Structure 1
């Protein structure tokens, strides 16, 4: 895979670097804040080799890549000068257009995404240490345990510092001043005073003793307040002294303000969130497990899953555990099971390959390629996986399983679930995976999909592929079409038909490779690899879908004669557009194309014959379509 070329194509298709407000990436997606989403060619991006799909959610334009997302982002960032774009202070306009929820989700995802992998690794390390102690392999007083525990727990202990850095970057304020503010909250002397329940005074104003190590909400709230104050100070101080005096007065103002007001307020908000989640969970843990198990991946699709991260982190900080993470692992594993069901059932080579690789990535906690590439694309497997997740989640929730540390929901997180309810998590995971696999294998494919995978036209011998008439009418040479691009065969060789019918049918068995939103064109890849384009009318894209009805979906299997598009040729003509239908072989260099000598296109008539150029004794195309 040429990641640099893919990055360049994506950059061009999102409207170029001038259309990018900000961009970053998570574990599987390129995430853009575009100035004008209408300039992005979503269909073209989705058709790029290496792109799973495009998602528009939470005010973001998200290009799902998979595990190789960092390899695509790095050259894209270099080409688009994203570091310069990201550091601008005057590009907040687009965020003000989003609603409050979208802005909040965007903020949370931007804050946690940069260190999500490191946080997951630290959480797993803490879980493994608990497992090693339980097995008697280590003791808590051994040097190895203490060093590794410091590496794992230190990340969470000083979490406010990491959050300050990423939050300040997102809010475009001085990151190092924000970090200095966070270090104030976790400064050893102040932590010791808080631990002893002593009350400090700031010029006779009492400072409520509050613990901020491992906390989330207080520092995020403090950096937000800082983002309000910093621009005011920048306006007060001349540019010559601003670099020193703005940080100075920020610390003078923000340190006591955070410890006296903002910090305790944030801690109270966190406590309310944790208490609310605990109250719902304790009222009906099995029901809570079923609901989260069923809908967690729906939350992922819409991007709202980020709103749960501060809650789960706060639960661990305040309670010492979180009841949600084990249930979420069940929801993740159910998608892996559904992907395995697709792998076992599907007879489509590409889908089988994608589903097989998706099983492994989902088991490790990365579900986006599984969802967008397999289960959601086929619809039924996603629904069945959600059912399996609900049942497995009810089991895990009913057993009141807890996570002792935050990490990505996956099989790797199992050590963090040791303790109360651990057996229920194991049972829930097994049930979700097996049920997801079995349900998908038995019920995940409609009869049409099964037929499309088993009754397609057999591959013909000697590299010869025959295409039938896509629509009845009058056949004309492609060079006579009133469109220079098609007439010059720049798109490839083929034939044109002036239609007398309103239904386009598949001229060949294969897979729908492109469905244009306007309905005026369909792409198909035949079993022999011929790339077939059916273009209905000239300049009909300007109709924006009016008078067209698409009957198939992208990646759907089609057989010869299956209906693809219905169109109203009379209405199109009255609107002033030519209705000529073009049948084009876009990868013409791979074939010798022979066009029928008939002038009338009747139903089921052979209209094109393709012979692979790799076959011996085949004349090479030299500029003219051959007529028989």
Structure 2
């Protein structure tokens, strides 16, 4: 695969470099935060060779790539300036304001834990292998070999607050070194001695409830979030000549005691309470709880909500030395793997067979997003088969009382983390994941799915049905009055490259947008700067008033429409103040795009210098098969 070519195509289809506020990646996805989501062509993105799916969640446009995501991310860095530190820094403050509170919270958890997943899985596997070695008496815990390898496997978990301090500080733009110092104070030997001494501890007369902070999650995250906010506040008022050492001084003096007095006890108790609640559910009915988690885990992954349980898994291992919740999720992973294999065995479509085969292999090692987004979910029935298989496997695992004794993404290589003293529950895990795999595979094969090869054969037999019957020759009238500007001259690559479709632009002389066709409003943006509508003849039209004007958040715009409204030619849609928009630093040149350009033989712009409202602006030429 040519990663640089794919990177360039992705950047163009998300609206160009100027439309990207920031970009990060996790195990399988590029996570774009955009200035204007209307500029992204999700349909064309999904059809790029190398892109599995495109999703919007938590204010981000998420492009699912699969295992090659690091290579594509690096290629974007080589072929664009998107990854420049200055650009990422200036974007982050507005990024946090995007999306609903729940979506933002999930995004925060994902950003904090995603960078650690690789090493966490590796350390978890090593710890699981050591458990097996001691259970079979291959190694003794007193052997120096065991001591060295155990230190390698356990160091990440013991010093987890330090690592989380780094990722949290990066997410909230705090000083990483100050954050690490605060985390180090929680693990400092003299603090540990005070904790073990069982004597009353105070700070200037304020009682301090000391806890054990090694391997904890919530206390340091809370602490660093507050530290980052205080740091920005202090830097506003402290003179530049001394803030580099005065700000860290104040943060250490305030945050270390505050964490020990407030955030530490709160974080530990909240984490324990959540864990206790989930463990209680499994204690009440491990079979039902396991079935629910086995069935729903991949649904949680689709919406990114699974990140909310990651701290719970880690907390359980840290506090109790084991976790009884995570094993059931493993059934869901192997269930979707089995469903993908079922697709591989049944499909006659070469492209789908190749995709199903490769995603089956990656899913075996715990990376299920290519499988879900690229294979089972689009085909629907295989995904449902995976849910059924996951429920059965999860019930078996829950009833067997399987435990995880280390952290790591559920998969073939991480099976050792579920092997504890005496191997209790491990056989139940093997039985559960095998059952989920087989049931999902067999159900997929029996239930079947709409194989793309069937669609291709039907299209070959009835070519007149390959395009929408409603589409015909049509004239699109001008929604504005002003100077006509060729799309290639618009100062925005997403429009100029015709990545979103063919069309034309108008530099308006009047702040009015009227309906260019008889049709229906399909999108009425809250920011009022853009309108999507479909004509009665089938033309899909995007009117984008100005460039980057989404950042005005509706200021200087008045909208008279809502989604679903029926409109007639000349109906007033939006009014805007040209002078004030320009004063704010934005161009008002307005692209008018036919977003379903591919359904037409040609889109012909008018050859004039200026237009009035309702003058002919574009001529759409339909394919001959539609004209019949």
Residue in 1 aligned with 2:334? 333
CA distance in 2, matches of 1:6, 1:74: 11
Q: Which moved more, 1:35-44 or 1:342-351?
A: 35-44
Structure 1 position 197, deviation (Å): 2.8
CA distance in 1, matches of 2:465, 2:209: 81
Structure 1 position 451, deviation (Å): 4.8
The count of aligned residue pairs is 504
Residue in 2 aligned with 1:140? 141
Structure 1 position 472, deviation (Å): 13
Structure 1 position 22, deviation (Å): 2.2
Residue in 1 aligned with 2:29? 29
| Residue 181 of structure 2 corresponds to residue 180 of structure 1 | yes
Structure 1 position 20, deviation (Å): 2.1
Measured at CA, do residues 234 and 381 of structure 1 come closer, stay the same or move farther in structure 2, by a change above 3 Å? same
Maintained 8 Å contact 1:22/1:85: no
Maintained 8 Å contact 1:537/1:578: no
1:386-440 CA distances to partner (integer Å, 9 max, x unpaired)? Answer: 0100010011011121101110011222111113321111110010000011000
Residue in 1 aligned with 2:45? 45
Structure 1 position 453, deviation (Å): 7.6
CA distance in 2, matches of 1:135, 1:454: 58
| Residue 622 of structure 2 corresponds to residue 581 of structure 1 | yes
Measured at CA, do residues 365 and 518 of structure 1 come closer, stay the same or move farther in structure 2, by a change above 3 Å? farther
- Name the TM-score, length of structure 1 as normaliser: 0.74
CA distance in 2, matches of 1:438, 1:391: 14
Maintained 8 Å contact 2:168/2:224: yes
Maintained 8 Å contact 1:292/1:393: yes
- Name the TM-score, length of structure 2 as normaliser: 0.74
Measured at CA, do residues 185 and 444 of structure 1 come closer, stay the same or move farther in structure 2, by a change above 3 Å? farther
1:13-69 CA distances to partner (integer Å, 9 max, x unpaired)? Answer: 212233222211111100112222112111121121111110112222100001000
Maintained 8 Å contact 2:534/2:540: no
Measured at CA, do residues 152 and 435 of structure 1 come closer, stay the same or move farther in structure 2, by a change above 3 Å? same
| Residue 441 of structure 2 corresponds to residue 437 of structure 1 | yes
Residue in 2 aligned with 1:214? 215
Structure 1 position 12, deviation (Å): 1.9
| Residue 448 of structure 2 corresponds to residue 424 of structure 1 | no
Residue in 2 aligned with 1:273? 274
1:491-527 CA distances to partner (integer Å, 9 max, x unpaired)? Answer: 9xxxxxxxxxxxxxxxxxxxxxxxxx9889xxxxxxx
1:103-162 CA distances to partner (integer Å, 9 max, x unpaired)? Answer: 111110000111211111111110011111112222212222111110110010000000
Measured at CA, do residues 137 and 172 of structure 1 come closer, stay the same or move farther in structure 2, by a change above 3 Å? same
For residues 243-282 of structure 1, the aligned pairs below 5 Å read 243-282=244-283
Bigger Cα Rg: 1
Residue in 1 aligned with 2:118? 117
CA distance in 1, matches of 2:468, 2:367: 48
Residue in 1 aligned with 2:7? 7
CA distance in 2, matches of 1:241, 1:344: 68
Maintained 8 Å contact 1:20/1:32: yes
Residue in 2 aligned with 1:308? 309
Measured at CA, do residues 91 and 54 of structure 1 come closer, stay the same or move farther in structure 2, by a change above 3 Å? same
Secondary structure of 1:63 counterpart: strand
Structure 1 position 239, deviation (Å): 0.6
Q: Which moved more, 1:407-416 or 1:154-163?
A: 407-416
CA distance in 1, matches of 2:127, 2:195: 25
Measured at CA, do residues 449 and 50 of structure 1 come closer, stay the same or move farther in structure 2, by a change above 3 Å? closer
Structure 1 position 199, deviation (Å): 3.4
Secondary structure of 1:24 counterpart: strand
CA distance in 1, matches of 2:353, 2:323: 36
Maintained 8 Å contact 2:21/2:91: no
CA distance in 2, matches of 1:583, 1:413: 57
Structure 1 position 454, deviation (Å): 7.7
Residue in 2 aligned with 1:294? 295
Measured at CA, do residues 469 and 39 of structure 1 come closer, stay the same or move farther in structure 2, by a change above 3 Å? closer
Measured at CA, do residues 538 and 221 of structure 1 come closer, stay the same or move farther in structure 2, by a change above 3 Å? closer
Measured at CA, do residues 423 and 86 of structure 1 come closer, stay the same or move farther in structure 2, by a change above 3 Å? farther
| Residue 243 of structure 2 corresponds to residue 242 of structure 1 | yes
CA distance in 2, matches of 1:472, 1:338: 32
Structure 2 gaps of 5+ residues are 474-485, 488-497, 499-531, 544-562, 567-597, 600-613
Secondary structure of 2:138 counterpart: coil
Higher relative contact order (CA 8 A, sep 6+): 2
Maintained 8 Å contact 1:87/1:172: no
Structure 1 gaps of 5+ residues are 459-465, 478-483, 486-490, 492-516, 521-535, 548-563, 566-573, 585-599, 603-628
Measured at CA, do residues 327 and 540 of structure 1 come closer, stay the same or move farther in structure 2, by a change above 3 Å? closer
Structure 1 position 90, deviation (Å): 6.8
1:169-225 CA distances to partner (integer Å, 9 max, x unpaired)? Answer: 101111110010001111122123323434332223232120000000000011111
Measured at CA, do residues 83 and 280 of structure 1 come closer, stay the same or move farther in structure 2, by a change above 3 Å? farther
Measured at CA, do residues 197 and 4 of structure 1 come closer, stay the same or move farther in structure 2, by a change above 3 Å? farther
Q: CA RMSD in A?
A: 3.3
